[in-house]
Amino acid sequence: MKHAKMQELGTERIWRLFELAEHEFGAHPERSKRYVEIARGVSKKLRARIPDTLKTKFCKKCGAFFGQGNSKITRTATWAVVKCLECGHERKTGRKPNTNK
Ligand SMILES: [Zn+2]
């Protein structure tokens, strides 16, 4: 099995798991947390990267899925700070402008 192919499959699974997490969030937030956990496990196991879009969707510290009402995003021109309202962890995301090279 080619490694690149496994990563590709892993990324697909990660997307799917986040979809499920989003779907479950309203009624079962604890289930969505579990899906995030599984997705992170897949990422680790297959060395598949979690897509940037999804990185703002969960708390790296406590693993909570960010649905409505449990996160707060503060945007600046170049980055966004996502704060988890469950554990208080803050995470800076976004792109740094290409200044060199
Ligand atoms: Zn958290």
Assigned domain for 98 exists: no
Cα 84 to middle of ligand 1, angstroms:
5
Residue 31 in domain? yes
What total of structural domains would you count in the chain?
1
For the question of whether the overall pTM of this predicted structure is more than 0.85, the answer is no
**Distance from Cα 78 to the centre of ligand 1, integer Å:** 23
| Domain boundaries, position 13 | 3-93
Is 84 annotated as ligand-binding?
A: yes
The pLDDT value given to residue 92: 87
Residue 71 included in any domain: yes
Inside any domain, residue 99: no
pLDDT tens-digit profile, the chain (101 residues)? 688 899 999 999 999 999 999 999 999 999 999 999 999 999 999 999 999 889 889 999 999 999 989 999 999 888 889 999 999 999 887 765 555 55
Answer yes or no: is 33 within a domain: yes
Distance, in Å, from the CA atom of 2 to the CA atom of 4, rounded to the nearest integer, reads: 6
* Cα of 89 from ligand 1 centre, angstroms: 5
For residue 53, give the CATH number of its domain.
1.20.5.420
Separation of alpha carbons 13 and 5, rounded Å: 12
CA distance 59 to 13: 19
